Structure 1
Amino acid sequence: MTLGEHSEGERGYRQQIRDWIASKGNPVNCVGANRFGDFKDNDVQAWGAQPIKPTLDRAREIVPAIQPNLILINAGSSDCFQEGAWGSSNVLNHMRDLVDFLFEASPGPPSS
């Protein structure tokens, strides 16, 4: 969903959110190691149909380097359909680990 595969223009919801944030007068620069979709500033870091734990492992590789100040997370549904490997009983702990890591790895601008 985040990547936008199979959506019109392969942009998913990213262009709409980007345009809305910019329309409020905020500077926007999407970041990520990939470019995907037929719109301006289409940088993205997303992986399709992946459980939360592998998403965390991949985030460890990229987030410290790109330091985003806004992170959209759409993860966890794959865990619910892969009980043997990941399982819905682990979703809370895996999501907590992911979110804690994101706050630590990309803490945002220093407070004044």
Structure 2
Amino acid sequence: MEKNLQMSYLLDFYGEMLSEKQKNIMELYYCDDLSLSEIAETHGMTRQGVRDNLKRAEHLLAGMEEKLGLIERDKGHQAQIDLLLSDLDALAKLPEVLASEEAKTLIGRITGVAEGIRNW
């Protein structure tokens, strides 16, 4: 399961760098959970041909992450956003903030921006 999740992340981040055929095979295998035989049948290929395409695409995607590190960078950003939201939540509960409408408005605005970035 861990490999499937990792490959799904790689496909999300770098899938457009693959050929249409490679991307399609990766999506069918990792996202739609089709077997090599099922994919081979729908593409008019051998099971071994599908496996070779799959392994080649996996290697390309892993190499892109190794060189560019976008997934690792995204994980770091998500952790920072989670910390920011946690701190904003704690700040919003302070008595002096609860008494200030301006502070509550600013915290609400910053929280909205942080959540928007997290969900982007």
Bigger share in helix: 2
Global fold match (TM > 0.5):
no
Query: TM-score scaled by structure 2?
Result: 0.27
Larger radius of gyration: 2
Query: TM-score scaled by structure 1?
Result: 0.28
